[in-house]
Amino acid sequence: MITFERMNNKQFKNYLEFMLPDYKRDTAEHYMMTIEEANEKAENQMESLLPDQEKTEGQYLFNIKSDEHIAGYLWFHVEKEKKRAFLYHIYILESFRKQGVAQAALAFFENEAKDEGADSVGLHVFGSNENAIGLYKKLGYRQASISMNKVL
Residues 140-149 pLDDT 10s:
999 988 888 7
129, 22 in Cβ contact below 8 A? no
**pLDDT tens track for 81-127:** 999 999 999 999 999 999 999 999 999 999 999 999 999 999 999 88
105, 87 in Cβ contact below 8 A? no
pLDDT for the residue 9? 97
State the pLDDT confidence band at 19, using cuts at 50, 70 and 90: very high
Closest by CA to 83, choosing from 106, 112, 116, 56, is 116
Q: Mean pLDDT of all residues in the chain?
A: 95
In this predicted model, which residue has the larger pLDDT, 30 or 70?
A: 70
Q: Which superfamily is assigned to 2-138 in CATH?
A: Gcn5-related N-acetyltransferase (GNAT) (3.40.630.30)
**DSSP 3-state of 90:** strand
φ/ψ of 3, rounded to 5, equals -130, 165
Distance CA 72, CA 102 (A): 9
In this predicted model, which residue has the larger pLDDT, 147 or 7?
A: 7
Distance CA 119, CA 126 (A): 24
pLDDT for the residue 149? 79
